[in-house]
């Protein structure tokens, strides 16, 4: 039986389950194939709990954690309404292809509607075709204001601390 729950970051069991799934994802080529730093593994649940705009959801199959979505509430200046950015989508390798990501996305969308969000956003690697297929199936598409100007690009500039 599939069940999806919002994560309580202060619950030690849920925090560990979340970190186990995120660590599994980080080791996957689509997650960078690099182990998360021990500081991240130790501090992330507490850091997320301190952010009023962070929300996570875990999927359980027969009480076993098998999926995770981490989200952050943002804001659309053009629509003057909140939005929900999906930052991580994780499904354990053994459970992929069973519709778990679709069920988690449905839960996240319902949550976003309750919060009055105007849209869901996410980023996906060009080479992660299974994830792209899942997102397209759910109704996501490239972001554009005017087709003549093309689709938005996701860029980054790292800041050394």
Token pair for residue 22?
């995120």
Instruction: List pLDDT tens digits, range 112-133.
Output: 999 999 999 999 999 999 999 9
**Within a domain: residue 158?**
no
User: 88 forms bridges with which residues in the sheet?
Assistant: 70
- The boundaries of the domain holding residue 139 are 2-149
C-alpha span between 21 and 89 (Å, rounded) = 10
Token pair 């500081």 in the structure block, residue:
39
- Number of domains, the chain: 1
Per-residue pLDDT of the chain (161 residues; tens, 9 = 90+): 999 999 999 999 999 999 999 999 999 998 999 999 999 999 999 999 999 999 999 999 999 999 999 999 999 999 999 999 999 999 999 999 999 999 999 999 999 999 999 999 999 999 999 999 999 999 999 999 899 999 998 899 999 98
Q: Looking at residue 109, which CATH number applies to its domain?
A: 3.40.630.30
pTM of the complete model: 0.94
**Within a domain: residue 73?**
yes
**Within a domain: residue 101?**
yes
**Within a domain: residue 48?**
yes
């Amino acid at each position: 039986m599939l069940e999806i729950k919002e994560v309580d970051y202060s619950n030690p069991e849920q925090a560990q389950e979340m970190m186990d799934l995120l660590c599994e994802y980080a080791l996957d080529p689509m997650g960078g194939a690099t182990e998360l730093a021990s500081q991240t593994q130790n501090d992330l649940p507490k850091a997320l709990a301190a952010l009023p705009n962070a929300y996570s959801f875990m999927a359980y199959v027969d009480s076993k954690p098998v999926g995770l979505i981490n989200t952050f509430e943002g804001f659309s200046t053009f629509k003057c309404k909140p939005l929900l950015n999906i930052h991580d989508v994780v499904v354990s390798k053994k459970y992929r292809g069973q519709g778990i990501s679709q069920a988690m996305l449905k839960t996240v969308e319902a949550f976003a509607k309750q919060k009055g969000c105007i849209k869901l956003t996410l980023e996906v690697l060009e080479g992660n075709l299974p994830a792209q297929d899942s997102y397209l199936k759910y109704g996501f598409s490239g972001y554009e204001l005017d087709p003549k100007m093309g689709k938005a690009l996701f860029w980054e500039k790292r800041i050394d601390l």
